[in-house]
Amino acid sequence: MNLVLDSTVVGVLCHPRHPEHAALSRWLSAMQQDPWPGSQGVRVFLPEVVDYELRRKLLHLAFRAGVETHPGITRLDTLGTLLSYLPLTTTTMRLAATLWAQARASGRPTAPNEALDSDAILAAQSLGVGGTVITDNVRHLSQFGPAARWQDVAVPAPPRRRRR
């Protein structure tokens, strides 16, 4: 199973005083543990577009406060080493452009026309790895592919042993 984290989820992970931080951190740790020897387990991705979205916000907060960095950036960098980093590619961006155009043609845009629409880019990144986007915005992202809230994704259980 491949899980691709949205910026709202990564934002909670980068904010240790957020009310959901501890529960989300426990869920993420459990997801990343190999449930049984030889299994494929779960792969959790930090998409580059999410890193960009969150990093720019944290830098903006730091610059407004008159400092060069924000503690959340250190936590974001750490997540980048703990999770599978999912870089942007030309293939991803071309798929994102198609998703953006299809959403508008069907009357279901996820952002204003002049916006870059990171939801379409995130969806394209997730589709590229056959993943499910883990988000608080299931309604927008599910029009592109699988999307779920982290609370609704159960940690895989090991297979039952047969009794002899």
Question: CATH no. for residue 62?
Answer: 3.40.50.1010
Closest CA to 1 of 31, 37, 30: 31
In which order are the strands placed within the sheet that holds 84-86?
A: 84-86, 43-47, 2-5, 132-134, 147-148
Asked whether the predicted pLDDT for residue 163 surpasses 80, the reply is no
Q: Is 64 helix (H, G, I), strand (E, B) or coil?
A: helix
Domain that holds residue 23: 2-31+40-87+130-152
Position 111 in a domain: no
The whole-chain average pLDDT of the chain stands at 90
Residue 52 and residue 7: Cα distance in Å, rounded? 9
**Mean pLDDT for the stretch of residues 125-150:** 95
Work out how many domains the chain is built from and give that number: 1
Q: Over the stretch 53-110, which tens digit does the pLDDT of each residue have? A: 999 999 999 999 999 889 999 999 999 999 999 999 999 999 999 999 999 899 887 8
Which of the pair, 158 or 20, is modelled with greater confidence? Answer: 20
Q: What is residue 124's predicted lDDT score, i.e. its pLDDT?
A: 97
Q: Binning pLDDT at 50, 70 and 90, where does residue 112 land?
A: confident
What residues contact 25, with CB distance under 8 A and at least 6 apart? 13
Position 57 in a domain: yes
What residues contact 143, with CB distance under 8 A and at least 6 apart? 103, 108, 110
- Which of 18-22, 23-27, 33-37 has the least mean pLDDT? 33-37
